[in-house]
Amino acid sequence: MPTNHSDRKPLSSRERAILFKTRIVAVQLQRYIEAKGRVTLKQLSATFPDIGGRSMYDRVKNLQDRGIVYRDGDEFLPTFAVDPCGSKADAAWRAARLLAASSFTPDQLAALASIEREHAATLCRNWCNHGLLVKIGQMNRRVPLYKMISKDVVRPIIKQERKHG
């Protein structure tokens, strides 16, 4: 039996987070535009109904200002020039979930997620401080061993103060 797509109800923010593998709305918008190829503001508003009109426009304008999308008349098109903000952390989270059955080091996480070792080590410390990982020991007295204890499929957003200077 053919489905009538006009009867579909919009995805909830939780469903979108699982579908796009991130809770960051700007990244969801970027990935949606990249998947569709061309979208109008009206289509975006229909897909993301929980984001108000002015807020949606501001978010898309921000993506445009950062060179992530460009405007062609009423449509927005992806540039594919910029990795989404948080994409390394998202990749590391997926890698940590794969390694959840055993313990892992930041080096192993970095190798599996294809990110820098320092970035993986920082993420591990941060996730450990927020109770998502637990440090279970050290390898060769220096390298920390971590174990994933979080059951979250999508990486939780952790508010973090940036240190400047």
CATH assignment, 11-78: 1.10.10.10
87-148 CATH, one of 1.10.10.10, 1.20.950.20, 1.10.357.10, 3.90.1150.10: 1.10.10.10
Beta bridge partners of 133: 148
Domain boundary assignment for the chain = 11-78, 87-148
Stated pTM of the model: 0.53
Q: How does pLDDT run across 80-134, given as a tens digit for each residue?
A: 776 666 678 888 898 999 998 889 999 999 999 888 999 899 999 999 998 999 9
Question: 50 in helix, strand or coil?
Answer: coil
